[in-house]
Structure 1
């Protein structure tokens, strides 16, 4: 981990994390969505269980009502993502809360809950500011809004996740711990654009449910971030192997580091290293 910190800066250099709505402060304003007939004056609350990496399509509550849609990705035409939250809150209260956190149209939500045996520790997605997060889902506001895809990509990366897992173990990934995690700072404009472009392709592929494009593009993002971390080949392989769970089913491959996509990530890392993209 020390090698990564020597090469990178900190999350706090590029973004500010903040705590989502808490039950102690806001629960009296929540309503169960099944008890709400008119959504005109209410807005859904986003829970951590509703998102996984770039994917914001899997909710656990029913029924799915046709007027309850949430856009998870900025600048894309994704008005009809089928998400059914459990709780809603008055629009005015939601806006007042979010205005204190960000003035941007989108923010990043990341899951606070961690366990040592979880496959992933750091999991985030991009959320419309109209929809506030509920703890243990916290928010992240990039200092430069144009970096939102970049920040989201790094948080969801294997190398970032590996450090997060070592740092927090069974503790919560609270905003203090989150700010202390490593982040590649001082990137060139071209490098930022490259990661952002790849991240947008991942998001578009997720919306289109194009798993092949998502997996292949995600491997390029992971390989590039491994290269930028300054880790050597044996260190990259060690980290990738630590994420492979041979006892788990390999369905929903886009969410997991499997033997197959770990090889793709490592191959992408070797390509970036051979071409020395930092000097290009």
Structure 2
């Protein structure tokens, strides 16, 4: 289909649980070769829409908003690059357990191990972070992982404890090009049926492993804040769900997601977005470098679920507006 530009539109149906579902007109939609090229310009692969209306909403977005990285002709508005810092299998010889480090005389300070001038950094995995928080989960001493409790989240000194630690020198060797004391990453392990599919967040400058991919851009932290807000917005999540067919948010998918370009952000928009991203993100002392890069030098914000919900709703509303989604389509998406 994609190799024949003049091919007539073809009918598709996804997310069916029985043959009878194929008879449901609500589940069927049509796409042309040009539609597929619009939605996935780099790969020409399919999006798995639930119905025709979702397809039309998404196509309209792609006509207005550029993809994150287009390969031909080359286009990368955000100057984005990606990095997988440590592979859980191939780099496992660099990982140290708590028992090993304590046996060698290292002392746990926060979630870092220290012995004199030697320093081991926590190895963050995807399951430890979530949208707007780097403290989603923590490992117990028995090796089991659990969610951080509300009490822990309200404590700005509480930190996620990993399974493994990595020598700070090995981390620096892989981040020698990056001048900031924080990182931006996203979970590459996900599903379209999860509560949220696109999960991006700011993480301290630590070791990163597994299914947690890092994102880098040369834009100032204020604009990086808008990228974080965009990637965690409901409308962005809705689009991402149409692209993920399995359990991985692969780089080729991320590159072909529509992202509001940096030149869109006026000072008024920055004044609205940046303080909200800061408040959602900076709830613990270990992200102070991110706060300082945004010009904020006060203590972390208190974790307040009601307040966080309000701020996120405000950001979601803004991005529905920036993506130019009609009110009736917003209602349909939110059903």
Give the structure-2-normalised TM-score.
0.62
1:247-273 CA-to-partner distances (Å, cap 9, x unmatched) read xxxxxxxxxxxxxxxxxxxxxxxxxxx
Query: CA offsets, 1:213-272, max 9 Å, x none?
Result: 11111111000000110111121122222xxxxxxxxxxxxxxxxxxxxxxxxxxxxxxx
Structure 2 stretches of 5 or more lacking a match? 1-57, 70-76, 107-112, 143-154, 285-300
Q: Which residue of 2 aligns with 1:165?
A: 241
Deviation at 1:204, TM superposition (A): 4.7
Select 2:267's aligned residue among 178, 186, 189. Answer: 189
Gaps of at least 5 residues in structure 1 are 65-77, 242-280
Match for 1:231 among 312, 321, 325? 325
1:31 equivalent to 2:96? Answer yes
1:47 to 111, 125, 140: 125
Contact preservation (8 Å) 1:202, 1:213: no
2:230 paired residue among 133, 154, 159: 154
| Alignment check: 8 A CA contact 1:109 1:133 kept | no
Q: State the partner residue of 1:127.
A: 203
1:178 alignment partner, one of 242, 251, 254: 254
Q: Structure 1, residues 165-195: CA drift from partner, whole Å, max 9, x if none?
A: 1112215212222122111112123223322
**Deviation of the 1:133 alpha carbon:** 1.5
Alignment correspondent of 2:302: 208
Q: Is the 8 A contact 2:98 2:164 kept in 1?
A: yes
Tell whether the 8 Å contact from 1:11 to 1:182 is kept in structure 2 after alignment: yes
**Partner residue of 1:92 out of 169, 172, 185:** 169
Structure number with the higher helix fraction is 1
Q: 1:50 to 1:34 in 2, by over 3 A?
A: farther
**C-alpha distance in 2, partners of 1:94/1:46?**
12
Query: Aligned ranges for residues 103-118 of structure 1 at < 5 Å?
Result: 103-118=179-194
Q: 1: CA distance between counterparts of 2:271 and 2:90? A: 40
If the length of structure 1 is used for normalisation, what is the TM-score? 0.74
Give a deviation string over 1:103-134, Cα, whole Å, max 9, x none: 333221110012232111111211122x0221
What are the equivalent positions in structure 2 for 1:247-262 lying under 5 Å apart? none
How far, CA to CA, are the matches of 1:128 and 1:20 in structure 2? 14
Equivalent residues, number:
226
Q: Report the 3-state secondary structure (helix = DSSP H, G, I; strand = E; otherwise coil) of the residue aligned with 2:61.
A: helix
**What is the aligned partner in structure 2 of residue 62 from structure 1?**
140
Match of 2:66 among 5, 9, 12: 9
3-state SS, counterpart of residue 42 of structure 1: strand
2:220 to 145, 152, 155: 145
The answer to which of 117-126 and 21-30 deviates more is 21-30
In structure 2, the CA distance between the partners of 1:17 and 1:3, relative to structure 1 (3 Å rule), is: farther
Higher RCO (CA < 8 A, seq sep 6+): 1
1-side partners of 2:170 and 2:282: how far apart? Answer: 32
User: Which of these two proteins has the greater Rg computed from alpha carbons?
Assistant: 2
Cα deviation, residue 136, structure 1: 0.3
